Amino acid sequence: MDLQLTGKKALVTGSTSGLGYSVAQTLLNEGVAVTINSRNQSHLETARMSLSSYGPVFGTRGDVSIPAEAEEVVQAAASQLHGLDLLVTNSGGPQTGRFETFTVDDWQQAFQLTFLSHARLIHAALPYLRASVAPSILTITSISAKQPIPDLILSNSLRAGVLGLTKSLALELGCEGIRVNSILPGFTSTDRASRLLADRAMKNNTSFDEESRKQTEASALKRIATPQEFANVAVFLLSPVASYLTGVMLSVDGGMVKGML
């Protein structure tokens, strides 16, 4: 299927590893020019060089949890790409832990990273997206927004807020032809997922392999996803082929979420 993405221009934040990297690579494979982003200049350049064999890729350093830097990331991408059609808002996950382990400052820092980064990036990108013939926004959240995950109270709380933002923006911006969707990954083979399983093993006095087995059993498909499986769905949602999909909160979780909605 032709996803009608050739020649489009995309910014993918938090994209030097894991899910963001896979989305950027898959967009490049579909003929999209991509700007990637990271807080770390060395990681950014390494990822950019790795991705350059797939298509035109640029890089812009910036911490999207910092207001001025989030805006600068968008402006830099629009300048590099000469416009913007697609925006993927992604950031690292907040700290793990239970409610009483966090201070108010911890909550504020998590709020900046996990919620406000999405709002700031979208706000800065809107003028460019309004000039596009096929504008699309995709927020990357987590199944924790639908089904709370133990020891992830910051993620459980704040990512649910991003779903509210996504749905509200879909309703507000639909009349302008701007689609806004969210994709909710379950456990996927990334470094963050490995760290979460290692933390569980330490807290439960088990092994990494045992925690991995338990997580795999929680999936209807009895396995953990690959980043490419996640990216395939993300890129479809971004594409003009999905032109009548907006306000969608799509779990890519192999059946880990047990609710019907």
Domain residue ranges of the chain, discontinuous segments joined by +: 9-187+225-252, 190-224
SS3 for 150-189 is: CCEHHHHHHHHHHHHHHHHHHHHHHHHCCEEEEEEECCEC
- The CATH topology of domain 9-187+225-252 is Rossmann fold (3.40.50)
Q: What is the pLDDT of residues 153-176, one digit of tens each?
A: 999 999 999 999 999 999 999 999
For 57-87, how does the pLDDT look when each residue is reduced to its tens digit (9 = 90+)? 999 999 999 999 999 999 999 999 999 999 9
Contacts of residue 156, defined as CB under 8 A and 6 or more positions apart, other chains included, come to 144, 145, 148, 149
Phi, psi of 198 (to 5 degrees): -65, -40
Q: Please state the rounded mean pLDDT for residues 182-207.
A: 87
Mean pLDDT of 207-223: 89
- Residue range 118-133, pLDDT digits in tens: 999 999 999 999 999 9
Phi, psi of 75 (to 5 degrees): -65, -40
Say if CB 92 and CB 19 are below 8 A apart: no
